[in-house]
């Protein structure tokens, strides 16, 4: 009983396509399945009632099912009994009302004349399909086509209401000023409040683009660096005091004076020699 109640609730909330169920208020076990005639078949436009009778052996044994609506079909007998393996040797305890109704609907699309309960319908299906369709359409229009669509199909099945989607409220852009210690430059960035993440509490570190990398000094650089570290000499004096001339070379004013003095001494010596002669 609990299993049937659960399945009936599922069929009323989310039934298969073209299938509905109805029950009696005073007897929940009085179940009627309603199958909409599939499109492209001679049963299109009709609504067929299938009655269920559950025994104490259910679900170990299948329930009894039959068409309450007259139909011209090879696998449906004169009193509405249905010939389908699901209700016989292929029955499994996990099957239920939904599985039976879906199987019967497939039988309307693909009739099986080899296991016919209605010999006339089975023979006509094998010999002349057009005549079979014409006869099936006639029976459907007379016995299975209501003037008003059944109430179970008039409204869509009830479904659980989905929670409303949260409204998206656009956030104003937030302007953030960031000071970079290495260049003392303010960069202004615009971002939404939802995209801002808290900064770490540790000290700021220089980014790779703001880091100055000092290369290791080479041998040549060491020499140059050494020379650059020497203190500059005292201010230069006059040229003659700071330049050491080679031997025999005189420079500056003293050299001129020495040359003049040497020339006068030679002239005196020559004069003395002439007097002696």
| Catalytic center residues | 83
Q: φ, ψ for residue 194 (rounded to 5)?
A: -75, -20
| Distance between CA atoms of residues 44 and 246, nearest Å | 132
- DSSP class per residue in 132-146: HHHHHHHHHHHHT--
Closest CA to 194 of 168, 165, 171: 171
Are 150 and 157 in contact by the 8 Å Cβ rule? The answer is no
Direct distance between the N- and C-terminal alpha carbons of the chain, in angstroms, rounded to an integer: 173
**Residues with Cβ within 8 Å of residue 78, at least 6 apart in sequence:** 117, 118
């Amino acid at each position: 009983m609990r299993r049937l109640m659960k399945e009936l609730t599922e069929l009323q909330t989310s039934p298969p396509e073209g299938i509905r169920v109805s029950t009696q208020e005073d007897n929940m076990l009085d179940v009627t399945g309603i199958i909409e005639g599939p499109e492209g078949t001679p049963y299109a436009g009709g609504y067929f009632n299938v009655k269920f009778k559950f025994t104490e052996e259910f679900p170990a044994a299948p329930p009894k099912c039959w068409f309450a609506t007259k139909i011209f079909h090879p696998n449906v007998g004169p009193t509405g009994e249905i010939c389908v393996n699901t209700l016989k040797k292929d029955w499994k305890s996990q099957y239920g009302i939904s599985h039976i109704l879906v199987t019967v609907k497939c039988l309307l699309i693909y009739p099986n004349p080899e296991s016919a309960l209605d010999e006339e319908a089975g023979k006509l299906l094998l010999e002349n399909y057009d005549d079979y369709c014409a006869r099936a359409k006639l029976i459907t229009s007379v016995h299975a086509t209501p003037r008003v669509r059944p109430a179970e199909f008039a409204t869509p099945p009830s479904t659980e209401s989905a929670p409303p989607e949260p409204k998206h409220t656009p956030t104003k852009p937030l302007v953030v000023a960031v000071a970079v210690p290495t260049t003392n430059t303010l960069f202004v960035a615009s971002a939404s409040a939802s995209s801002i993440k808290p900064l770490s509490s540790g000290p700021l570190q220089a980014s790779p683009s703001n880091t100055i990398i000092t290369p290791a000094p080479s041998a040549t650089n060491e020499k140059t660096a050494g020379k650059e570290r020497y203190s500059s000499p005292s201010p230069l004096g006059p040229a003659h005091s700071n330049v050491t001339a080679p031997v025999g070379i005189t420079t500056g004013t003293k050299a001129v004076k020495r040359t003049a003095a040497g020339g006068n001494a030679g002239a005196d010596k020559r004069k003395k020699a002439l007097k002696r002669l």
